[in-house]
Structure 1
Amino acid sequence: MPRGDKSAYTDKQERKADHIAEGYEKRGVSEKEAERRAWATVNKDDGGGKKSGSGRGKSTGHPAARKGGRKGGAAAAARPEADRSAAARKGWETRRRKAAH
């Protein structure tokens, strides 16, 4: 199989690559570079093409396309410091009160 041959990829992997490439193109990346990055992401997510014999379609369980904990806390960080302090005090009081019972 020559380099760049996509016959081993499933339809779902191809759709995934198209979607990723579209996102890069929207952000101003050239079509060729967007395509390259998209397939690199699919390979990292799925460990390459899935069309082969037995064991086909095994999931990796650790996709590259998940932002995980990096996005968490953005809403709290946008609130004023005084609001966050008040919420922290209120939570502490509640925990203290419930622990007494």
Structure 2
Amino acid sequence: MPSGSSPKRERQYEHIKDSLKDRGSSDKRAKEIAARTVNKERARSGESKTASRSSTHDISSSRRGGLRSHRGAGGPTYDQLYNEAKQRNIKGRSTMNKQQLQHALGRS
């Protein structure tokens, strides 16, 4: 957790981490997912200094979990794939759809 986090976010982090460990995730994976989830919620509520577009415009972590809980992970969103393609400087990304972005990123 980042320094200066509120007690609420600390509790949220511990709750998510413990829940994932109870479901069989490794300690390292549980910490990573918990930190990402809490950091995204901090960005959505304006508690962090910087926030990515996908953090503030994507559906909330709790809503996404409810939507995908019975059919597994839905994978990254189009915006997340596009941002990764932009970071990797992949040409033609603006005209690609989600499947094409996945292929270009090697995630077929």
Q: Which has the larger radius of gyration?
A: 1
Tell me the TM-score range normalised by the shorter chain.
Answer: 0.3 to 0.5
- With structure 1 as the length reference, what TM-score do the two structures score? 0.46
- With structure 2 as the length reference, what TM-score do the two structures score? 0.43
